[in-house]
Structure 1
Amino acid sequence: MQKKLSVLVVTCALLGLSGCGLFSKSTDESKNVSASKLYADAQDEMSGGHYEAAIKLYEKLESNYPFGTYAAQAQMNIAYAHYKANDQAEALAAVERFIKLHPNHPQVDYMYYLRGLINFNDQLGFMNFIYAQDPTERDPKATRESFAAFKELVDKFPNSKYAADSIARMNYLIDAMASYEVHVANYYYRRGAYLASLNRAQSAVTQFSQANAREEALFLMIRCYDKLGMYDMRDDTQRIFAKNYPDSRFMGGKGSGDAPWWKFWSKWGPEPSPKDALEAPQ
């Protein structure tokens, strides 16, 4: 019995060693894949829209070749792949990690731009396009964060090739924030909370003086002043309104007839990827 037990122990030990050898061989084979091969495979997965598979390959590339030519681009592509997969939290985490690790990278401006895009597109989901929902009815947190990201890009990198697009998006975001204030003001007005409505409308006028929503905010102020019996303020505001918006639709005019400011998706072409932002490493 003792002899049989000894044989069994030895056999198990040999099998364990054999298994370790096989595992090590498998690991070694993975590590022996070249950086260029890993990168090419990851790019193929990305092109096919297989973002999770692409992320795993980019992460393997970064792990196996942390100081290689491809490492920084792999990190950028990881952030972009999470963004395309609609994983906002992981995309933002990857962006922040890249900026922290490579603050002086020649293409770090792209990551600031991507940070803005992640929040910019968060305020308009796919269902919004289908049902034409006005995004001003949603929490403006993503709008504010997107504006801050684009502003940081423009402030830090005024000559960036993404600056002009960022400024254009910032203008729309200003309208978004102003329109949110007007939406809340209308909400209060419909419920008879005229003072609260007036305060939100005034906020839209004073904080976002160039926004398209300023027209409706001024008109709402006129109505609130009237409901509150503040007739002098009503008449003064009405004179300002008539001077600035003589053909306003709110006063019976035809107005501009333009589509709502938030129907902007035809304004821009395809959003650039890190592959466009960086030359592929040789």
Structure 2
Amino acid sequence: MDGTTAAPDAGAGGFAEECRVAVEAAEAAGALLRSRFLDAFRVDTKGTDGDVVTELDLLAEELVTRRLAGRFPADRIRAEEGGEVAGPPGSRRTWLVDPLDGSNNVVVGLPAYVVGIALCVDDEPVLGVVHDPVAGRTWRAVRGAGAYGPGGRLRLPVRPSGAGRPVLGWTQGHGVGGDPVARALKDGLEGGARRVLQLWAPLLTWALLAGGLIDGFVGYRAEEIDLPAGCLLATEAGVEVRGLDGGPFSPRTGQPETARSFVAGRPELLPYLLDLVAGVG
């Protein structure tokens, strides 16, 4: 499974079977991606904003959606490349599948990519799984039952005083382009951080934040498909997430892209991050 020291259903709350199936599907897709990473594969453009879709995205997506549909036929499935691919339209439960978060990295041979799966009930995320095929790491979270990673349950270490400027992550939606607000936000973060990582794999950034390996994460009009899994993983590990204005933030699906901008960080660091964002323009 995910290499944790906990039992397979630890932290699964009332979703033990869903968690098991999602972890197994993510890890199987990850094995496929890892085995083909250095091969020649087809690459196509997607939309007009420079995004890409590869043959590997499609193969991994088919694997994951087939497994989810076979085990949970009454659930809807929304996948990054295929849209809504299974399930009755009236179902309260929807799986979100990002089969290859980091496609642009893979295209240039950069081994920074993950597989992401979320389960939402009434549009609210209740289960999130992120698998890193390169390092063989899996993270998972269930709402109200905690987050788990390669070393067991995730609990944010307290950032020591005098630790210096934070290390932050940044993401923006594919369609943002040269938006002046996005540029100003990123520039503001650069001025107040030791380093700002733009991994082009938001789920990997969420996992690093949940594991305490970076200090904060700011997103501007983030993509919807991977936001629920990543945000749930982080909040169950103790991360606080707010809107850019400091107000409440929800990762529920079905919201406009203007509602998908966020500031996330360790609780003791969040006021500093919000001040950085507030100081922009």
TM-score with structure 2 length normalisation?
0.26
Greater length-normalized contact order (CA 8 Å, ≥ 6 residues apart): 2
Bigger proportion of residues as helix:
1
Point out the structure with max Rg over C-alpha: 1
TM-score with structure 1 length normalisation?
0.26
